[in-house]
Amino acid sequence: MATFLYKLGRLAFRRRHFVALIWVALLTLAGVGAASAPPAGNSSFSIPGTEAQKAFDLLEQRFPGASADGATARVVFKAPSGEKMTDAGHKATVEKTVDELSDGSEVASVADPYTGNAVSKDGTIAYASVKYDVSGMELEESTKDALEDAAQQARDAGLTVEVGGDALQAVPETGATEVIGIAVAAVVLVITFGSLVAAGLPLLTALIGVGIGVSSITALASALELGSTTSILAMMIGLAVGIDYALFIVSRYRAELAEGREREEAAGRAVGTAGSAVVFAGLTVVIALVGLAVVNIPMLTKMGIAAAGTVAIAVLIALTMIPALLGYAGRRVKPAGAKGRRLGRSRKSEPDPDAPKPDQPAGRPKANLGTRWASFVVRRPLAVLLLGVIGLGAAAVPATSLELGLPDDGSQPTSTTQRRAYDLLSEGFGPGFNGPLMVVVDAKGSDAPKDAFDDVAGEIKGLDGVVAVTPPAPNKGGDTATITVIPDSKPSSVQTEDLVHAIRDAGGDIEAKTGAETLVTGSTAMNIDVSEKLNDALVPYLVLVVGLAFLLLIVVFRSILVPLKAALGFLLSVMAALGAVVAVFQWGWLSGLMGVEETGPVMSMMPIFMVGVVFGLAMDYEVFLVTRMREAYVHGEKPNQAVVTGFKHGARVVTAAAVIMMAVFAGFIGSSESMVKMIGFGLAIAVFFDAFVVRMAIVPAVLALLGKKAWWLPKWLDRALPNVDVEGEGLRTGDERGSGPDEDRELVRA
């Protein structure tokens, strides 16, 4: 592989005009496609194989034209203190509001509170239910404006009016912190390279890659039913890995220049060595993201595939466009160690990159921070290992109280009208009113459908935790009916989950007696089924993704213990990251600093999504850092010396890459979408734990303890595995093969 990538890098360097033209053309094509594509509708949220989804599909068949996926709104009215909604003046105001809402072209129906039994027992709160023909993301702005105007007119008449439901659903915004994250990445790159030109290359290529990826997602959003969150997550991951991959290749290019090589040769070797690590690191990320398909939740699958596509683009750009841009930059990209005049350093200190390299002064060169840290770790590996494991274990403790759920209006900030409507409904009708359960009774196989409907309703009334049960509402054919059940607990509570299971258990007994099948659906039941499905899929997903990546890393490192150590280190970092997420978003620690206005259960898909993404990113740093160690070991260094050499060449760049990735992910904490905010924080803290605790401390400590055993591989397996030559052995000249590096030998002595 190294030889192929070496040739690719040299070709891209020589044919830079052609390479740049191809990528600009792809960016333009994707941009035109995004601009001309129809607006994306609301992504369909389905969970195949669950009872809630089966009931939803049955409703669409037996109740045609009911717009089951249409947007809904609840306009909630509250009378002033000491007054009631049944007063003549307030009643007239509500009826006028209902009439105005009924005039909308996209309105399917509006339920009057006074005819639909939607007034609280104390008479202080009432609500009008509005049903639309299209989903919330497809509603015209004029329809949303009409809803808000009608609510405002009722407010002007002296009532407290709030609007809940998904009719006011808006595209999530990321906020200014995303730009701040990119700015931090730019500063880190300038500090790392000491050159504005070299720092600009990773940013430029990452933005081009993300532009192509996100524009392609936008162009296909309507046809593939991709939600707005899909493009945001693709942007988040694409920016992070795009900058990092380019950073590693540019850093290796500067190191090759410092060895005195010509620029084209340096570009080829940089792509052949660092590029090999980029390919395998990118493959682990793609495997982890595409592997989300095993969960069998279409929305999660689409998110994973879209993000994986953006990562693949980032890899291709790093391998081709980076060497092309290095060709354009010429002497403006300095060898490693050369200082730039723009940063206030003398140009006289810059060596001529095309001149023969001067002899090094006698004596051992001054060790950099990475070398000194690695030397410390290999001298005291057990202490560093124990400290790292205990620290991550302590951070993971909150994960033991993890509660899962999906966000609803109750998780919105208290400043939103959706949250205030949610609170008013809880006040007037009880906490369970915001999460009603819909029971669908399929009596097609029953001899007495009406009796079966009544039996189901009566059985449910006798269950604990039920506040109200509406009379069965049959369809025109009389073979299917819906029953609405109001629990006495809030939607995200354990009591509501127990009630759903109790209804389903009771339905089994009724089916045995009457032949009628009872199904429970609705948003609350959907959330419960999603959580259970994700929990059931977590172990198979881990086995599949970690197993495939483990095999891939065996090929890369030609070792059994190094990939095993990488997987165990990942589990430590992801558990610590989940603990931090629970502490902030569930317990409320530092919630004000993170902009979390309302604590509650962690989103159901957060653990499995974090496992997938963090595993891929963790393997990035494993590949980049340990490949350098493997390279030194293969070229003749002793195991501990190879660890130090790997840190000497890779620690600074891996540190910069981790800080950049953390900054990019943290930039999405300012998103208005709670899911994006939580994922941004979770990934940022996971990168911190994995890069600085696992890869920078635990990994060298374990390798120092293992010694030569770390690189052990059975001979039969060594013969069976393909030789991908990640270390670039095929690129070394005869003189290079005959001489092994001897720097830093003294630093690793015990």
Mind giving me the DSSP string for 649-712? Answer: HHHHHHHHHHHHHHHHHHGGGG-SSHHHHHHHHHHHHHHHIIIIIIIIIIHHHHHHHHGGGGG-
Burial letters for 341-366: b for 16+ Cβ neighbours within 10 Å, e otherwise? eeeeeeeeebbebeeeeeeeeeeeee
Residue 553, pLDDT score:
81
Range 186-212 average pLDDT: 85
pLDDT grade, residue 735 (50/70/90)? very low
Q: At what angle do helices 16-36 and 298-329 cross, to 10 degrees?
A: 140
Q: Looking at 299-303, 319-323, 324-328, which range is the least confident one?
A: 299-303
pLDDT at 79 over 80: yes
Of the candidates 545, 605, 586, 584, the one whose C-alpha atom is nearest the C-alpha of residue 685 is 584
pLDDT at 134 over 60: yes
The residue type of 601 is P
The Cα 118–Cα 301 span in angstroms is 40
Residue 321, pLDDT score:
94
Helices (H), 330-380: 369-379
The two structure tokens encoding residue 723:
């030789």
Tens of pLDDT along 577-625? 999 999 998 888 887 777 776 777 788 778 887 887 787 777 777 877 8
pLDDT at 365 over 80: no
Question: What does the longest C-alpha to C-alpha distance in the chain come to?
Answer: 99
Residue 362, pLDDT score:
42
Of the candidates 281, 288, 205, the one whose C-alpha atom is nearest the C-alpha of residue 20 is 205
Mean per-residue pLDDT of the chain: 82
Cα 469–chain centre separation: 39
pLDDT at 352 over 50: no
Q: Is 576 helix (H, G, I), strand (E, B) or coil?
A: helix
456 vs 741, more confident: 456
At residue 654, φ and ψ (nearest 5 deg) are: -65, -40
pLDDT at 384 over 50: yes
pLDDT at 78 over 90: yes
pLDDT at 153 over 60: yes
Burial letters for 632-659: b for 16+ Cβ neighbours within 10 Å, e otherwise? bbbbebbbbbbbbbbbbbbbbbbbbbbb
The Cα 541–Cα 463 span in angstroms is 37
Q: Are 533 and 50 in contact (CB under 8 A)?
A: yes
502 vs 735, more confident: 502
Number of Cβ within 10 Å of residue 158's Cβ equals 12
The pTM score is 0.76
* C-alpha separations of 20 from 12, 198, 268, 271, 518 in Å: 9, 17, 17, 17, 61
Q: Which residue has the tokens 């909308």?
A: 104
pLDDT at 409 over 80: no
Of the candidates 318, 312, 305, 193, the one whose C-alpha atom is nearest the C-alpha of residue 249 is 318
The Cα 688–Cα 497 span in angstroms is 35
Cα 498–chain centre separation: 30
Measured at the alpha carbon of residue 522, what is the angle toward residues 518 and 524, in degrees to the nearest 5?
110
Cα 394–chain centre separation: 24
pLDDT at 634 over 60: yes
